[in-house]
Amino acid sequence: MKRYHLPALLLLVLTLAAFRFSDKDKKEKDPINWISIEEAEKLSKKQPRKIVIDVYTDWCGWCKKMDQSTFADEKVAKYVNKNFYAVKLDAESKEDIVLNGKTYRFNPRYKAHELAVELLQGKMGYPSTIYLDEKFNMLTPVMGYYDSKEFEKLLRYYGEDHHKKMAYEEFKAQK
């Protein structure tokens, strides 16, 4: 019985190592330049840009699909990197975030981070994409999964200020 322990242990170690390297490779190959919201705030003061925030959770299947398809799309990544500061926000993060002089913490009542609750206006659903203007004013929260084609339209709608002139449905009909 004891001789089975070593091969089983070795198999477990190799499996865990494979998962660790695959996560590392994924992060290194991520085409979008994701930064923290604090870093986006700092960069915005020097070079203003709109902010796009991916609000996700670790257990959300559609969030993972969006990471693997939508955010991995070359056209989407190129547009995001050129026109936005891109932020990933784990809605269940336990880490404090200081933004505009206010400290946001994990809120046990919502089982979510206070910043996520505020950005999503209490309507907790994942994935969600938040669009902020250059001064960190809310443009809109957008709930749900979007494929790369539809997501690129949303990026252009907010990134090029079409939202100031027309409804999204009207914008979509033009393209």
What pLDDT score was predicted for residue 21?
Answer: 42
How does pLDDT run across 7-53, given as a tens digit for each residue? Answer: 444 444 444 444 444 444 444 578 999 999 999 999 999 999 999 99
**According to the CATH classification, is domain 34-174 in 3.30.365.10?**
no
The token pair at 30 is: 């991520």
What pLDDT score was predicted for residue 80?
Answer: 98
Please tell me the least confidently modeled range out of 20-29, 47-56, 138-147, 158-167. 20-29
Of 120 and 14, the one with more pLDDT: 120
The alpha carbon of residue 125 and the mean position of all alpha carbons in its chain are separated, in whole angstroms, by 13
pTM of this structure: 0.82
Q: Assign 109 a pLDDT band (cuts: 50, 70, 90).
A: confident
How does pLDDT run across 65-78, given as a tens digit for each residue? Answer: 999 999 999 999 99
List Cβ neighbours of 123 (8 Å cut-off, separation of 6 or more): 141, 143
6 pLDDT above the threshold of 70: no
How does pLDDT run across 91-102, given as a tens digit for each residue? Answer: 999 999 999 999
Give the Å distances, CA to CA, from 144 to 7, 57, 95, 125, 150: 44, 13, 24, 7, 12
State which amino acid sits at residue 32: I
Ordered by start, the domain boundaries in the chain are 34-174
**Residue-averaged pLDDT of the chain:** 88
Give the Å distances, CA to CA, from 136 to 37, 64, 131, 132, 133: 10, 26, 9, 5, 5
What pLDDT score was predicted for residue 15?
Answer: 46
What is the DSSP secondary-structure string of 140-174?
EEEES---HHHHHHHHHHHHTTGGGTS-HHHHHHH
**Is the Cβ–Cβ distance between 173 and 164 less than 8 Å?**
no
Q: Using a pLDDT cut of 70, give the percent of the chain over it.
A: 83
1 pLDDT above the threshold of 70: no
